[in-house]
Amino acid sequence: MRRRLLPGALGAVLLLAALVAWLNVRGEAPLDAGATPPATPAVVERGAYLARAGNCAGCHSVPGGAPFAGGRRIETPFGSVVSSNLTPDPATGLGAWSAGEFWRALHHGRSRDGHLLYPAFPYPSFTRVSREDSDALYAFLKTVPPAARANEAHELRFPYSTQAALAVWRALFFRAGELEPDARQGASWNRGRYLVQGLGHCSACHAGRNALGGPAFDAEFAGGLMPDAG
Ligand code: HEC
Ligand code: HEC
């Protein structure tokens, strides 16, 4: 009844907001409360290798700072975004995170409390990382020395600073999903694609971007300007 009284425009805005909200959680399985996967030396070593492939330390460390403690400010056309503390410090890092919450950050771009993360964190690529590899990264990050460094606030201009704007961006440009191996190609081709389109996030820098900072799909791998580095 109330709905009918609303002016049409407001109704349309509400419908659109509901659609955007739905597009942001579509396909998301409930967080698993499953046991922490085994962190054998081999798994930790694999996680260390995967962290190098994904350049986690490159964005999550500052010169002279503790490795993986975050604090690197990434300039974008919309303002700057600061990387987070990934060390196992319980208060300021990932110490209290479960493997499922870590996976959700990589796969769905959500933080532990559920808020949406900015795609300066290349989860539009990392979403293709397998759960097994995510668990290995998680196991490795548990072994780095904890560093107490509180996350700093981003400095983004309005409206880009809002979760609503980020939700719209994600509805337009982000799809969570893993890579199915292409059966027509061999194992090394599939491995290469997994690295390039997943952890390597090559297209984060080697592709053009549209005015909203979304990927320009026709220009994937054609190169582009990194706003961060000029
Ligand atoms: C290009 C830079 C960049 C790279 C590479 C990168 N990150 Fe990040 N990451 C960020 C930024 C920036 C944020 C903060 C996003 C936000 O707060 O919205 C972030 C946030 C995160 C978060 C969420 C933390 C929280 O407190 O919510 C996790 C988990 C994470 N990154 C893990 C990783 C892992 C694992 C790797 C390597 C496989 C990695 N990141 C590589 C930039 C990067
Ligand atoms: C954080 C941004 C970034 C990411 C991610 C990135 N690159 Fe690059 N890459 C660059 C930049 C910038 C250059 C140009 C460096 C220069 O000209 O000095 C470059 C240059 C290159 C070159 C040399 C090309 C030439 O013409 O000399 C190759 C090859 C390359 N990248 C491959 C890759 C691959 C493969 C990946 C993914 C696994 C990747 N890059 C991920 C930023 C990036």
More confident residue, 225 or 144: 144
CB of 207 closer than 6 angstroms to any ligand 2 atom = no
Using an 8 Å Cβ cutoff, are 48 and 94 in contact?
Answer: no
CA–CA gap between residue 109 and residue 26 (Å, rounded): 13
Question: How high is the pLDDT of residue 33?
Answer: 64
Tokens found for residue 220: 């994937």
Neighbours of 41 (CB within 10 A): 9
CA–CA gap between residue 174 and residue 198 (Å, rounded): 14
Look at residues 229, 228, 199 and name the one whose alpha carbon lies nearest to residue 80: 228
Task: Return the minimum-mean-pLDDT range out of 4-8, 72-76, 165-169, 215-219.
Answer: 215-219
Question: How high is the pLDDT of residue 192?
Answer: 96
Question: How high is the pLDDT of residue 8?
Answer: 87
CA–CA gap between residue 93 and residue 58 (Å, rounded): 17
Look at residues 207, 209, 211, 203 and name the one whose alpha carbon lies nearest to residue 223: 207
Give the position, in ligand 1's atom list, of the atom nearest the Cα of 111: 27
- For residue range 22-43, list pLDDT tens digits in order: 998 888 888 876 667 789 999 9
CA–CA gap between residue 75 and residue 120 (Å, rounded): 9
CA angle, corner 65, sides to 61 and 69, nearest 5?
50
CA–CA gap between residue 33 and residue 215 (Å, rounded): 34
CA of 226 to the centre of ligand 2 (A): 11
- For residue range 154-208, list pLDDT tens digits in order: 999 999 999 999 999 999 999 999 889 999 999 999 999 999 999 999 988 898 8
Question: How high is the pLDDT of residue 32?
Answer: 78
Atom 39 in ligand 1: which residue has the minimum CA distance? 56
Give the position of tokens 């303002």. Answer: 79
Average pLDDT of the chain, as a whole number: 91
CA of 38 to the centre of ligand 2 (A): 34
Please give the C-alpha separations between residue 3 and each of 21, 64, 191, in angstroms, as whole numbers. Answer: 19, 57, 52
CA of 222 to the centre of ligand 2 (A): 11
Atom 34 in ligand 2: which residue has the minimum CA distance? 202
Task: Return the minimum-mean-pLDDT range out of 43-52, 174-183, 205-214.
Answer: 205-214
CB of 196 closer than 6 angstroms to any ligand 2 atom = yes
Give the position of tokens 């300066």. Answer: 120
- 129: confidence class by pLDDT, cuts 50, 70, 90: very high
In this predicted structure, the answer to whether residue 121 has a pLDDT above a threshold of 90 is yes
Q: What value does the mean pLDDT take over residues 127-154?
A: 97
Percentage above 90 pLDDT, the chain = 74
In this predicted structure, the answer to whether residue 142 has a pLDDT above a threshold of 90 is yes
Question: How high is the pLDDT of residue 225?
Answer: 75
Question: How high is the pLDDT of residue 4?
Answer: 66
Neighbours of 113 (CB within 10 A): 6
CA–CA gap between residue 61 and residue 71 (Å, rounded): 7
